[in-house]
Amino acid sequence: MLQSRRSFVRAAATSVAAASVVLPHLQAAHHGGAKKVKLAVVGTGGRSRRDIPNFIKGCELIGLEVDIVMLADAFEDMVMEAAESYGVPKDRCVWGWEAYKKVAESDAEFVMLITPPLFRPLHFDMMVEAGKHVMLEKPVAVDAPGCRRVIAAGEKAKKMGLAVLAGTQRRHQFTYLRNAAKVAAGAIGDIVGGQILWNTTVPWIKDRKPAWSDADYLVRNWLNWAEMSADHLGEQHVHNIDVANWFIGRLPVSAIGYGGRARRESGNNYDFFSLDLDYGKGLHIHSQCRQIAGTYSRVGEAFEGTKGEVLGGGKITGDDVSIPDISVLDQDGSVQEMIDWVQSARSGNPLNEAQQIAEATAVAVMGRYAAYTGEFVRMRDLMANASSPHYSYQVSVQPEDFERGSVVMPPENVVAVPGNGDPIRRR
């Protein structure tokens, strides 16, 4: 039987009101039950404006106060804007390409990594080394070596008892949790097909300003560069891919597909992809994503089973099945994920989502390579087969190049051309 979500929310509100009561599970352990949570953030742009308030709200719901001990960004203007919003004093703000190192040295317990994905593996490695509980915004890499590095750091975090959250809020959203449990309990029978979609518009383009260096421009306009974002197949559609991996319970073995650019005039991303993801055992999932204004827009997941159908966290048909209780304090997965992260860290039973998000990211990388090259690409070519070019290929701009001042900007508006004999890149 499911417990009523209203009663959970009410219970939470009561515990917040009675602020002197320390919840029993928080007394256990890791940080001595301290009521203050020390947070630091690397990357104080758009998503941080959701993640920081969600973290504060999540902590409030479990009776904790948040102390923002450090805000870090590549750029002073970005970090100071965020500092003003949250009343963080200037001496707790750092900026520059090496600002993340100061966060590692800080006394933050919880660190959110919210930069463009290219930087995630490097920053994650360092935060784990420093013993921080980490939130990794999705996606977590732009190429296969980056995905494997995140998995390795995630394993290290496990050994160190650190909690690792991925910014894939659907995994913490009540409606998705309920449907995933029903699917696992056999409600729709065996999944025999499905579609995953992220069809919208280009979120934004930043035009270059004369004062910006190549490095500045790549980072300020990162969303439109494959090297920085993993293309929109990685940057947005990874949410749907992650749901497919979760509901199906395994990863695809290979991808074929295509994509291209019809309208975008910035960076080097494609603006549409259409892929066949082969999950083995005869199961094929159609993955489709597009960023073109004025076209049909739909975001979601649909899986057809032998007994019914499920639409992501929405409608589900098929057999009535009983599932375990699902307890959440907030309907919004973006808040609930913060609660789960903090509670798991403090209870000494830390969640660790590094592998699942690195694998979802790797599926997106596989799909991108399939579309960019026109080749048949296998997951094992990215994750296990060291003789495959896809295994070792790294994008031409590396995170350390920013620190060294050696960034070479890829040619703009020159996109990958399939079938030209180049295993991955442009003509």
Q: How far is CA 33 from the centre of its chain?
A: 29
Binding residue for ligand NAD, selected from 58, 63, 154, 167, defined by CB under 6 A? 167
> Is 229 or 352 the residue whose CB approaches ligand NAD more closely?
229
CB nearer ligand NAD, residue 46 or residue 314:
46
Q: How far apart are CA 77 and CA 259, in angstroms?
A: 36
Residue closer to ligand NAD (CB basis): 99 or 251: 99
Stretch that binds ligand NAD, among 36-44, 188-196, 315-323, 413-421 (CB under 6 A): 36-44
Q: Across the strands, what pairs with 196? A: 287, 301
The correct pick among 58, 116, 257, 312 for binding ligand NAD (CB under 6 A) is 116
Q: Half-sphere exposure (CA, 13 Å, Cβ side) for 15?
A: 20
Alpha helices in 167-320 (DSSP H): 174-184, 214-220, 226-229, 231-235, 238-248
> x/- binding map, residues 86-115, to ligand NAD, per CB under 6 A?
-----------x-xx-------------xx
Task: Tell me whether residue 361 or residue 373 sits nearer to ligand NAD (CB atom).
Answer: 361
> Using the 8-state DSSP alphabet, how is residue 352 labeled?
B
Residue 310, C-beta contacts closer than 8 angstroms, at least 6 positions apart: 179, 182, 183, 187, 188, 247, 302, 303, 316, 317, 318
Please select the residue that binds ligand NAD; options are 44, 54, 200, 336, rule is CB under 6 A.
Answer: 44
Torsion of CA 314, 318, 323, 325, to 10 degrees: 30
74: contact with ligand NAD by CB under 6 A: yes
Give the total residue count for the chain. 427
Query: If binding is defined by CB under 6 A, does position 279 make contact with ligand NAD?
Result: no
Which of 16, 53, 75, 300 binds ligand NAD (CB under 6 A)? It is 75
Give the footprint of ligand NAD on residues 9-28 (CB under 6 A): none
Q: What Cα–Cα distance (Å) separates residue 310 from each residue in 53, 242, 400?
A: 31, 15, 43
| Binding string, residues 219-258; x marks residues near ligand NAD by CB under 6 A | x---------------x-----------------------
Identify each DSSP E strand in 261-327 by its residue range: 272-278, 284-291, 298-305, 309-310
Q: Residue 312 interacts with ligand NAD (CB under 6 A)?
A: no
Look at the alpha carbons of 172, 330, 8, 22 in this order and tell me if their dihedral is positive or negative.
Answer: positive
When the beta carbons of 12 and 223 are compared against ligand NAD, the nearer one is 223
Q: How far is the CB of 16 from ligand NAD (least distance, A)?
A: 25
Q: Which residues bind ligand NAD (CB under 6 A)?
A: 42-48, 72-75, 78, 97, 99-100, 114-117, 119, 137-138, 167, 169, 219, 235, 402
